[in-house]
Homo-oligomer: A and B are copies of this chain.
Amino acid sequence: MGGGTPDPSGRSVLIQLSRLRRIRDMDTDNDTVTVEAGCVLQDVQSATRAVGRLFPLSLGAEGSCTIGGNLGTNAGGTQVLRYGNARELTLGLEVVTAEGEIWNGLRGLRKDNTGYDLRDLYIGSEGTLGIITAATLRLYPLPQASYAGLLAFAGLAEAVAFLSVARQRFSATLTAFEIISAEVLRLIGQNRPQFSLPVNPGEAGVAWYALLEISDTHSHQNVRNVFTDVVAQGVEDGLVIDAIVAESEAQRQHLWLLREHEISAAQNVEGPNVKHDVSVRISQIPSFVDEVVERLRERFPGCRPVIFGHLGDGNLHFNVSAPEGQDAHDFMQWEQEIHDIVHEAVRVFSGSISAEHGIGQAKVSLLRNHKSAVELDLMLRIKQALDPHNLFNPGKVLQPVLDKSQMIVSTR
């Protein structure tokens, strides 16, 4: 990282960064790539694909988001089930510290037990402990064949039970298990007539769908056989009601379009809604959803929960839309109360109020209700140890805790 001494505000460091959006090193024998923080995620995906490797981080914003942002927020996405979050995809970092010094942690080693794990402290800290300027990332074999299908379930309990079967049978070839409620599909049918739904979401007895995908380095035929075999077992066991399988790449992409584009498009037609990004243990998902839906419908009769997400990670995008006929903007007056209902259930179920989106400013006031005093104190000590003058991304993550703690800390 360039020559000049960074000024204390960190500004000169940032200016240098804008010129360094590039890939520093590709090491196929080590299965790693070292990139600048300013690299766009899609550029990393393309550059590694060109040498026959997969960088598995994959999310809607991949065409514009940067690796620095992905690591700062420990991004998730659609392949976490198989490859983990951004954290698990990172071997090392280069970071500018609060002293304006550079920590070079880009050794690219898979094993290194020589002291504290600084890497994972910076990942997910949302820029509040230091500035990530580069990263060494893990690469994987490029799958040769993918196979996807949309499966219908009577309830979430059956979907969770079948996820367990699918994990056992598919093992590491299971790369996605995304759920979408039948209500969400009906909303798409209603608001997005230009999109051809692959199933009839009015089917009796079906309340949930799951988009399953398996990916393998073996032949397509082999992958297809295993897929249909396991789905048939699910039907036989009474877990799966029925299933459609994508028989072409175009059909597979159509299923992903449904998941990644049509849900939000269908919601947008109606105006704003109250969004949540929550996680609980996978085993708790059915009772969590029952509980929250019941509380919401008690308080706001007719409100429409729009629920979809990464069942394989225990992560739901749990949005709440206005009752049919009610103005969406009017409904938003209840936003805070709806958040409170959902987040209180998250607390009771020992879940997370931000599974993959981080804290930022939006959730900064919630942390005190969702973390123990012990955990907040530990985080505060780390913030003060690494950024004693609160230079980095002030106002984010820990700010209210910092504000409240000034006196407590100074007397320690």
* A43 CB–B CB distance under 8 Å: no
Q: Could you say which of B117, B284, B359 contacts A115, with CB atoms under 8 Å apart?
A: B359
* A378 CB–B CB distance under 8 Å: yes
* A381 CB–B CB distance under 8 Å: yes
Q: A28 vs B282: C-alpha distance in the bound complex, in angstroms? A: 10
Per-residue B-contact encoding for A350-364, CB less than 8 Å = 1, 0 else: 111111111100010
Residues of chain B within 8 A of A167, CB atoms compared: 31, 141
Interface contact B29-A111, CB-CB below 8 Å: no
Interface contact B217-A169, CB-CB below 8 Å: yes
Interface contact B141-A379, CB-CB below 8 Å: no
* A155 CB–B CB distance under 8 Å: no
Interface contact A117-B314, CB-CB below 8 Å: no
Interface contact A112-B279, CB-CB below 8 Å: yes
Interface contact A115-B356, CB-CB below 8 Å: no
Q: Which residues of A contact B (CB under 8 A)?
A: 27-32, 52, 73-74, 76, 80, 84-85, 87-88, 97, 99, 101-105, 107-121, 123-125, 129, 140-143, 160-161, 163-164, 167-173, 216-218, 226, 279-284, 310, 313-315, 350-359, 363, 367, 370-372, 374-375, 377-379, 381-386, 397-398
Closest 10 CB pairs of A and B: A172-B172, A29-B283, A120-B120, A385-B385, A112-B352, A111-B355, A381-B385, A30-B281, A171-B217, A30-B283
12 extra A-B contacts, CB within 8 A, seeds A107-B352, A113-B358: A27-B281, A29-B282, A76-B111, A109-B351, A110-B279, A110-B314, A114-B370, A115-B124, A116-B129, A117-B121, A168-B217, A218-B226
Q: List 14 A-B contacts (CB under 8 A).
A: A27-B281, A28-B283, A29-B160, A52-B168, A99-B377, A103-B374, A107-B281, A111-B279, A112-B352, A113-B354, A113-B357, A113-B359, A116-B129, A143-B171
